[in-house]
Every structure is written in C-alpha cells, then in structure tokens.
C-alpha cells in the first residue's frame, strides 16, 4: 500500500481528531454532525483559518510599505467569505463583472478592486467604470484600446495598469502557469512601452501602474524575484520615455501544502520583495511605489474541506473503489489537473479493515475520481473529508449529469452558518423553463 496519507492538522491546526472519540473536528465542531445536519456533498470552511491567513499577509507587510492585499476572488467567491475579508480590510482581485458584483454585495469597496482577465467585454468595462473600480489590469493592446473607447464614451477616467508577461517559468502546473510567452496572459516586455505610450497619450486613460502575475501554487520563491528584476528594468525604460510608474501589482500565487509541499510563507517572501523594490527606488532617487499582492489559494485553500458519504464499496478483480456522493462536478481539480487532495475518514471505524481504494464519484466519466490509491478503513455509509478543498472547489463546480451544486457552511467561534443552500433540480430547470 502506498504511503500518501495526510495528517489533517499538518494542513490546518483547526482541523483535529478528537483525542477521546477519534472524530474529525473543524474548529472543535464534529464534521459527521455537519454531514448529518446539512447532507453531503458539503463544503465546510473555517472563518478563523481564512482570517488568520489574510492577517499573515497583512502583518508581513506592516510598516514596510503602502501595500494592499487584494484577495483573488476566483479562488472562492462565496459572498460570506468575501464579506469576512472585506471586514479585515482586504482589496479584491476580480476577473469578471460577476465577481465585482459579488464584492459589492459583500460590502467590499470597488475602488479597492483590480479588474484582471484577458477577455473583458465592453459591457463589463462599462459596468466596472460605473461602479468606480480601482484599476483595470490590461492584458493586450486591443483591450487598452477598448477601455479607452468605453471611458471616452462614458466621460469617465479609467485607471489602467498593464499586465506584463516576463517570460519567467513559475515551475508549477502548466495550466496555472501564466508568466511564459506561450501563455495567453499579459503583454510582452518588448510590446509594453508602445502600449504605455498609447495609454499615456489618451485623454481618458490614467496610467496607474504595472502588473505581473506568473502563476499559481508556487512552492519556490525564486521566480518572483526573477520576474521583479524584469519589471524593474522595464520601469527604468519607461521612465526614460517620460512615463513614471508609481504602483506595482506583484500578483499572488504562493502555494499551499496538499501532501508534502513546503511553500514559502508570506513572511518569507513579501518583506524581501518589498526590500528589493525599496532598494531600487532609493538607487534611482525615486519615491517608494505603492504595492499590491493578489493571494487566493493561500488564503482559503486549507481553510475548507469537502465532506462526502460512501455510497458503495466495489472490487474489480483486485482493484478496490470507494464510490462516494461527491464527484468531479463538485471538485474538478483531480480530474482537470490530476491534483492531489488528502482524504481521511471522518470517524474511526473499528470494524473496517484498511484497504487501498480509488475514491470515485457517480458521474459517467472514467475521469471522475477524487483520489487514487488511498489506504482507508471504511464501510458503506461512512463519511470522508476531502482536504485542502477551500480553493477552486465550489467556484469550479458545475451541473454536469444534472447534479446540483453542494451546500456550503462556515464555522466561526463554534457557530455554524449555512452560506449556500444545496442546489435543487428546480433551481437548474428554472432558467430553461422560465423563458
């Protein structure tokens, strides 16, 4: 049997097995009780974990520079989670008008939101301008032209930062690498001065800053510094052309532990990045630019679990399957990225014998698996916790096979709040029948 087990408390100290009952608890709340009360599949989040992760970023920057931490909404966009972060003082990194609407509904400030994404429509740009979005992170020459046209039509100044592509390998999964020239994101370093000249000359565009994001789930900090070197060299070139940049958006991407990764902490990365920018500014006789960072996964990833119930145990000529009620439509990452998520039994089953299982869902796809070759002592009806499921879980969920999206609950100080009810078939049919 393979040794790929994970101790939940190594991922999140609020996730512990009770020393007496052996029950897995999140913030001292029995997860089996939540499964019985709210049903499964069920996403469970810890508010304390989310706030602590955000504060780790804020404290890493404290006293060093004027920094805004912009939470990447795409990681987990539940309005209640956004509200908690807004109350902590977070800004937001958004990639659609829908995400901006969620931020506003959560009480977030549009002026503290940066609007990224490679395919902003004219309608999205108009909506964002009407709401007073803080800045557009522009990803192409054509987009810069479109924002200028919309801003002129509305007679509203648009703050713009150009997202540059530094052609730096983030050393992560190719689907979440964004800083190489073969990726669709950003403008090449060679093309950037021309685009900045256009924006600088446009009467309705205000050159706010420069943006760089090289990828997600980074476990090595060195690509950050390679990218920053190239960005600072571009700033020197722009200054020589008469364009002063006073804000740097250095993106996010710090990874989390899923199995045995050792990603850097905000305290290990951010002060060094800030110091590098400060040294550059002092060497040029310039004021220190304002900065922003865009963490997502590292704020919510290990703050959530997905609870699921074993429907059947099945054996095919020596291959064992635990068929559960969660599926790829609930958690896409394993099927899409071959991603690893820890899996543990929520309760100690003294009657079951340990066996190596593939944990699979009921969807009609061979790719519908959540974990492979996991040693579990379980029986039909037991509950499992899929770990590290707070990021890119519910936000990537779908109705494939006409399955309803899972419910979500948030635990804070022992109080459990339903923050998304389970989707019904009536919810799914309504847009098709109500036309």
Rounded to whole angstroms, the Cα distance separating 192 from 216 reads 23
Instruction: Please say whether the beta carbons of 143 and 176 come within 8 A.
Output: no
Name the burial class of residue 364, with classes exposed (0-12), middle (13-18) and buried (19+) by CB atoms within 10 angstroms of its CB: exposed
DSSP characters over 298-358 = HHHGGGEEEEEEEEEEEEETTEEEEEES--TTT--HHHHH-----EEESS--TTSPPEEEE
Pairing of strands 415-420, 304-316: unpaired
C-alpha atoms less than 13 angstroms from C-alpha of 178 in its C-beta half-sphere: 23
Q: Residue 188, Cα to own-chain centre: how many angstroms?
A: 25
Which sequence positions are flagged as catalytic?
A: 364
Helix (H) or strand (E) holding 410: strand 407-412
Rounded to whole angstroms, the Cα distance separating 282 from 322 reads 60
Angle between helices 222-240 and 192-201 (to 10 degrees): 50
Output the known binding site for substrate: 297, 333, 337, 365, 392
Partners of 409 in the β-ladder: 44, 418
Rounded to whole angstroms, the Cα distance separating 156 from 132 reads 9
C-alpha atoms less than 13 angstroms from C-alpha of 223 in its C-beta half-sphere: 28
Q: Residue 17, Cα to own-chain centre: how many angstroms?
A: 27
How many helices and strands in the chain, by DSSP H and E?
13, 21
Q: What is the largest CA-CA distance in the chain?
A: 74
Partners of 71 in the β-ladder: 92
């Amino acid at each position: 049997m393979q040794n790929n087990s994970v101790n939940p408390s190594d991922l999140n100290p609020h996730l512990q097995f009770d020393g007496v009952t052996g029950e897995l608890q999140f913030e001292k709340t029995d997860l089996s009780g939540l499964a019985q009360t709210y049903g499964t599949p069920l996403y469970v989040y810890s508010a304390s974990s989310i706030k602590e992760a955000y504060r780790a970023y804020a404290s890493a920057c404290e006293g060093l520079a004027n920094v805004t931490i912009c939470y990447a909404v795409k990681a987990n966009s539940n309005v209640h989670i956004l509200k908690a972060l807004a109350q902590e003082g977070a800004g937001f990194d958004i990639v659609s008008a829908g995400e901006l609407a969620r931020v506003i509904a959560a009480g977030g400030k549009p002026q503290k939101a940066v609007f990224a994404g490679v395919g902003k429509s004219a309608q999205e740009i108009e909506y964002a301008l009407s709401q007073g979005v803080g800045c557009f992170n522009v990803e192409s020459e054509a987009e810069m032209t479109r924002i200028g046209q919309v801003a002129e039509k509305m007679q509203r100044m648009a703050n713009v930062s150009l997202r540059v592509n530094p052609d730096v390998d983030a050393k992560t999964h190719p689907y979440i690498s964004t800083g190489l020239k073969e990726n669709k994101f950003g403008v090449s370093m060679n093309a950037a001065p021309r685009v900045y000249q256009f924006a600088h000359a446009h009467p309705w565009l205000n050159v706010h800053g420069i943006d760089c994001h090289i990828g997600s789930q980074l476990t090595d900090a060195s690509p950050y510094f390679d990218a920053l070197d190239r960005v600072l060299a571009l700033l020197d070139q722009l200054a020589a052309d008469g364009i002063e940049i006073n804000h740097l958006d250095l993106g996010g991407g710090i990874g989390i532990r899923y199995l045995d990764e050792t990603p850097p902490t905000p305290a290990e990365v951010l002060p060094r990045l800030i110091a590098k920018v400060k040294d550059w500014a002092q060497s040029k006789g310039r004021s220190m630019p304002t900065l922003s960072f865009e963490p997502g996964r590292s704020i919510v990833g290990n703050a959530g679990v997905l609870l699921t119930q074993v429907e059947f145990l099945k054996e095919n000529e020596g291959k064992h399957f635990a068929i559960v009620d969660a599926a790829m439509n609930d958690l896409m990452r394993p099927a899409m990225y071959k991603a690893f998520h820890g899996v543990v039994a929520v309760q100690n089953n003294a009657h079951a014998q340990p066996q190596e299982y593939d944990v699979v869902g009921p969807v009609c796809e061979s790719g519908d698996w959540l974990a492979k070759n996991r040693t579990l002592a379980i029986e039909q009806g037991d509950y499992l916790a899929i770990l590290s499921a707070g990021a890119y879980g519910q936000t990537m969920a779908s109705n494939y096979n006409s399955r309803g999206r899972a419910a979500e609950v948030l635990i804070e100080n022992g109080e459990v709040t339903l923050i998304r009810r389970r989707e019904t078939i009536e919810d799914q049919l309504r847009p098709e029948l109500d036309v």
